[in-house]
Structure 1
Amino acid sequence: MDGETRVDLHYVSSNHQHYKRIYESYETLTDRFEKVNRYCSETFPDIAIENFTRNQQRGETGHQGVFHYLGVGSGSGDSDVVILTQLAKRLPRIEATITEPSDKMIANFKSAISESGNDALQKIKFTWNQATIEEYMKMPQDTKFHCIFLCGVLAYFKDVDQVVQYLYSVLAENGTILIVTEAGNETNIFYEVWYPGRFPSIKEQTGIPDNVIASFERHGAKVTASNLKCILDGSTLFDEESESGNLLLDLMTGVVDCRKTAPPEFLRQLFDFISDSSVSFKQEGKFLLKNDRLLIIVQK
């Protein structure tokens, strides 16, 4: 890859409509969403509630028994709704602040709440912010959050350490942050492709998990991490006429219409890399990719 120069490409992160199409297709190709939501339903709420209860038992003041939740880059709120549903079953008062730059995604989130049929969920007081986390950071507010949730957004932060510092500063004592992101090398195809400097023709991705963990630890946080094994069906990647394959390629590289706009040599090198990577394998006639999630728990 030495000597490769950058080219002018349009990035998925700035095209919310295309990003929505990508994710709708991606959902049909991976078991990631099912497994993440199972964790968000069965495991994580216990951790968040236990820490919140510890604060109440210690006589924490200023929150008046209200559980404060912050969703960062929540999209349509698929996993947020799962977490909040479980929290709402066990906590009497929840105030949820949601940040998301796409108005359409926020509308979808609101629809998911109204259509849930869950009375407890609909009693949650929501505050909606059509903003990136960087934009939200500039807004005046003094809330300390007992739970902060981020899923699949690290790669879109302009300055990871700045965001980490902010999130830790607004986390309540004994509060909990859950970050769901691409797992590390040899366990996730996105990590392998996004690793800084590996493919300099595309926009360098930020938010590599090791960097995020180290950043939180520098600020004094207690951090634990574990892998959640997931699989992605990449069989259509090599079919130039496949819509799902082309959308997956866009997601993998972060480039809109990558197959049409990226230099042919870049595409050749990328496909060679994917084919030979330790994260790919064949099973029952399918070309599969490791799509593990890294579950990062941050506690204050």
Structure 2
Amino acid sequence: MMASNMSENKLLNLLTDMNHYHKAYAAYCSKTTKWQELQKWTESAEFESIVVANLSKNLSAMDQQIRVLGIGSGEGILEIYQLQKLATKFPKISASVVEPSELITKYKDTVGRNPVADNITFEWHKQTFDEYLACNDKKYHFISVVHAVHSLGDPDVFIKKMYMLLEPGGILLLTLVTDHTGVGSIPLHQSELKDDKTTNNYVNSSQVKATLEKLQIEYTQSIYKETTDITDFMTNDDSEEGELLLDFLTGVINFKKSAPDDVRDRVMRHFQQVSRIEKTDDGDEKMSYKHTSDIDILFVTRGDKAK
């Protein structure tokens, strides 16, 4: 009977419905500390030394106008901080933004209301990465892929493409979930449940690092911590926002309604076991999902310094 239940329920990949994906992503953004932590990291000495100082050193013999590419930029939550940091060092920056969803409009509106810096010009491309590549042959000094790696497909393919877009001495920044925390640890993603036609097979940092090593591309690595407030879907069965957050974390459309009972129970038990109760500033209780804690930030520098 249980096997029949699993066969009758189809766990649909969240990425097959981008409208639903962006609603789920918005729910996640409202509940995670990811962006605050990444902002702090971007403003830290580590970002300064790994990205800003190295770019400055690598490009010292070149015109100091740099080209920056954001892939899957969303509404630019983190890229704005990256650009602000770069703008303190480089006199001119040309920033290309590639984002296929309507989130790009929010990014443009934010920049329109409050310009990032006087020395930055923007190009906006509402299209997928592959669509962008089909009609553009520019090379870039800095490429940032903050939350889009899982939607780019085969790591062997997209790493080669992004590496070839770098100028000599240019830097590629990737943020990815690890395979032992976050979506990589949710029981739904155990091997016996993976099915490319039904479930969302997230690309994790181990897969990308394996690709880089196979291609003999050197990289450096940093790790940051985040937590996510999952109170809505753990304590409120009627929370639409909570269900969207659950969809994002599992990578499945309407997970709560469509998952077989055994899978749903196992996933919810996982959240219960790895979360902890915390007090909010208002004295209320919330459940913090600590297992979203490890995110790898990978840096790739292309070849020799520019001559």
Q: Confirm or deny a common fold (TM above 0.5).
A: yes
Correspondence list, 1:1-300, <5 A = 5=7, 7-42=9-44, 43-57=46-60, 59-60=61-62, 64-102=63-101, 104-120=102-118, 123-141=119-137, 143-185=138-180, 188-193=181-186, 195=189, 197=191, 199-200=193-194, 202-238=198-234, 239-276=236-273, 279-284=274-279, 285-290=285-290, 291-292=292-293, 293-300=295-302
Instruction: Write out per-residue CA displacement over residues 58-91 of structure 1, whole angstroms, 9 at most, x where no aligned residue.
Output: x34xxx3321111010011111111112212321
Q: Any unmatched runs of 5+ in structure 2?
A: 280-284, 303-307
CA displacement, residues 31-62 of structure 1 (integer Å, 9 cap, x when unaligned): 111001221233425432222222333x34xx
Report the alpha carbon displacement of residue 195 of structure 1 after superposing the two structures with TM: 4.2
- For residues 199-256 of structure 1, the C-alpha deviation after alignment (integer angstroms, 9 at most, x for no partner) is 3375141311101012122223221222211111222223321223211111012222
CA shift at 1:16, angstroms?
3.4
Q: Distance in 1 between matches of 2:158 and 2:8?
A: 27
Question: Counterparts of 2:250 and 2:106 in 1: how far apart (Å)?
Answer: 26
SS in 2 for 1:271: helix
Deviation at 1:30, TM superposition (A): 1.8
Q: How many residues align?
A: 288
Assess, with a 3 A threshold, how the Cα gap between structure 1 residues 118 and 249 changes in structure 2: closer, same or farther. Answer: closer
The residue identity in structure 1 corresponding to 2:169 is N
Deviations 1:72-114 (A, max 9, x none): 1001111111111221232111111211111x21111111111
Percent of aligned pairs sharing the same letter: 24
Cα distance between partner residues in 2 of 1:204 and 1:66: 40
Question: Is the contact made by 1:168 and 1:216 (CA closer than 8 Å) also made in structure 2?
Answer: no
Q: Distance in 1 between matches of 2:117 and 2:226?
A: 32
Contact 1:233-1:286 at 8 Å conserved across structures: yes
Task: Report the CA distance shift for 1:231/1:140 in structure 2 as closer, same or farther (over 3 A).
Answer: closer
- The one-letter code of the counterpart of 2:171 is T
User: How many Å separate the matches in 2 of 1:2 and 1:283?
Assistant: 38
In structure 2, relative to structure 1, the CA distance for the partners of 1:17 and 1:160 (3 Å cut) is: same
TM-score (norm 2): 0.83
Q: How many angstroms apart in 1 are the aligned matches of 2:68 and 2:145?
A: 11
Displaced runs of 4 or more, over 6 A: none
DSSP-derived class of the 2:270 partner: helix
- Match of 1:176, SS? strand
For the 8 Å contact 1:12–1:255, the answer to whether it is kept is yes
SS of 2:252's partner is: coil
Determine helix, strand or coil for the equivalent of 1:85: helix
Distance 2:28 2:200 in 1: 21
In structure 2, the CA distance between the partners of 1:148 and 1:118, relative to structure 1 (3 Å rule), is closer
Q: Which runs of 5+ in 1 are unaligned?
A: none
Would the alpha carbon gap of residues 264 and 159 (structure 1) be closer, same or farther in structure 2, given more than 3 Å must change?
same
Deviations 1:3-31 (A, max 9, x none): 95485454432433333332332233221
| Separation (CA, whole Å) in 1 of partners of 2:125 and 2:149 | 18
Counterpart CA distance in 2 for 1:88 and 1:80 is 12
Bigger drift between 191-200 and 265-274 goes to 191-200
Query: C-alpha separation between the residues in 2 aligned to 1:250 and 1:48?
Result: 34
Equivalent residue of 2:80, what SS? helix
